[in-house]
């Protein structure tokens, strides 16, 4: 068994290139996480990122001295993958998110009474104050996970692409499904669409091809979350 694992590690170190910054080769991350976090690994393996040789360090690598960086496996990494990180490949989509209402949805600790319990609100809204320099992974205890669409990131960007696209699966089809929108848009908030809320209002008819994206822009582009017309 041990010989087999060593052989896999050797092959991955040979086949997968170094990140070019003198840090650990990409393959080392994959071998370890395949064993320690197999579900995470399988999500990545089935993704478009895997098919295009985009691996752990391409998204998680951080520079020494960055507020959220910590040493891990011979590299400096961050748990936070921010829209600014994603913009390295997805600049248009990241820019659309930054201009959206979603990006400005963070919980405001100064208005705790209005928000209710920030620890539950942040699941959808996101929050500031994620970091603690004393923490081994630089994340404040109790502040993670935070995949809220308005999460305030230490690099100045707002939001989390995984709010809709899912960690490590990076599934564009999942983000386009109404159930993904409903995960947040029916939690303590009224909605005009009966199909989502069970309340009054015009229901979406999936049989007629109606969905949230029939009227609302993907990535929440623009200053308003209001419907702007199909296909926009």
The model's confidence at residue 199, banded by pLDDT at 50, 70 and 90, is very low
The model's confidence at residue 64, banded by pLDDT at 50, 70 and 90, is very high
Those residues whose C-beta lies under 8 Å from the C-beta of residue 148, and which sit 6 or more positions away, are 105, 106, 107, 122, 123, 124, 125, 126, 127, 159, 160, 163
Using one digit for the tens of pLDDT, what is the confidence trace for 127-139? 777 888 888 889 8
Question: Helix (H, G, I), strand (E, B), or coil: what is residue 135?
Answer: coil
Pair 57, 106 in one domain: no
pLDDT for position 126: 79
pLDDT above 60 for 225: no
- The more confidently predicted of residues 143 and 224 is 143
- Asked if residue 72 belongs to a domain, the reply is no
Question: Helix (H, G, I), strand (E, B), or coil: what is residue 127?
Answer: coil
Pair 49, 104 in one domain: no
- Asked if residue 109 belongs to a domain, the reply is yes
Pair 151, 50 in one domain: no
Those residues whose C-beta lies under 8 Å from the C-beta of residue 51, and which sit 6 or more positions away, are none
| Cα–Cα distance, 88 to 94 (Å, whole number) | 9
State how many domains the chain has: 2
- Asked if residue 88 belongs to a domain, the reply is no
Pair 148, 214 in one domain: yes
Pair 49, 163 in one domain: no
The model's confidence at residue 45, banded by pLDDT at 50, 70 and 90, is very high
Question: Helix (H, G, I), strand (E, B), or coil: what is residue 76?
Answer: strand
| Cα–Cα distance, 106 to 124 (Å, whole number) | 9
CA dihedral sign, ordered 195, 200, 202, 207: positive
Pair 44, 106 in one domain: no
Whether the model pTM is above 0.75: no
Pair 102, 216 in one domain: yes
Please give the mean pLDDT across all residues of the chain: 73
CA dihedral sign, ordered 219, 224, 230, 232: negative
| Element spanning 70, H or E | strand 70-72
Pair 116, 195 in one domain: yes
Using one digit for the tens of pLDDT, what is the confidence trace for 207-219? 555 677 777 766 6
Pair 36, 123 in one domain: no
Domain of 54 in residue numbering reads as 2-61
- Asked if residue 86 belongs to a domain, the reply is no
Cα distances (Å, whole numbers) of residue 139 to 70, 105, 230: 10, 21, 40
pLDDT for position 209: 58
Q: Retrieve residue 137's tokens.
A: 């992974």
pLDDT above 50 for 24: no
Q: Retrieve residue 48's tokens.
A: 């478009």
- Asked if residue 85 belongs to a domain, the reply is no
Pair 103, 215 in one domain: yes
Pair 105, 211 in one domain: yes
Region 101-125: mean pLDDT is 68
Residue 145 preceded by cis peptide, ω within 30: yes
- The more confidently predicted of residues 195 and 39 is 39
Pair 109, 202 in one domain: yes
| Cα–Cα distance, 103 to 94 (Å, whole number) | 10
Report the range out of 151-165, 180-194, 218-232 with the highest average pLDDT. Answer: 151-165
pLDDT for position 47: 93
- Asked if residue 48 belongs to a domain, the reply is yes
- Which of these three, 15, 42, 61, is where a domain ends? 61
- Asked if residue 75 belongs to a domain, the reply is no
- Asked if residue 76 belongs to a domain, the reply is no
Q: Retrieve residue 152's tokens.
A: 């305030």
């Amino acid at each position: 068994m041990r010989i087999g694992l060593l052989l896999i590690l050797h092959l991955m170190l040979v086949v997968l290139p170094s990140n070019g910054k003198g840090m650990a080769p990409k393959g080392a991350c994959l071998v370890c996480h395949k064993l320690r976090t197999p579900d995470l690994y399988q999500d990545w393996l089935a993704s478009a990122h895997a098919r295009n040789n985009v691996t752990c360090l391409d998204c998680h690598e951080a520079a020494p001295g960055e507020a959220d960086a910590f040493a891990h496996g011979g590299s400096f990494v961050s748990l936070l993958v921010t829209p600014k990180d994603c913009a390295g490949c997805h600049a248009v989509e990241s820019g659309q998110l930054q201009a959206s209402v979603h990006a400005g949805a963070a919980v405001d600790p100064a208005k705790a009474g209005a928000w209710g319990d920030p620890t539950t609100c942040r699941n959808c809204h996101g929050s500031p104050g994620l970091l603690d320099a004393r923490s081994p992974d630089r994340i404040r205890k109790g502040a993670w996970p935070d995949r809220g669409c308005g999460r305030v990131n230490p690099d100045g960007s707002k939001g989390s692409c995984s709010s809709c696209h899912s960690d490590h699966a990076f599934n564009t089809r999942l983000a386009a499904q109404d159930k993904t929108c409903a995960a947040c848009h029916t939690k303590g908030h009224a909605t005009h669409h009966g199909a989502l809320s069970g309340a009054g209002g015009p229901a979406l008819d999936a049989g007629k091809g109606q969905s949230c994206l029939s009227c609302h822009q993907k990535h929440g582009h623009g200053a308003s979350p209001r419907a702007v017309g199909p296909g926009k």
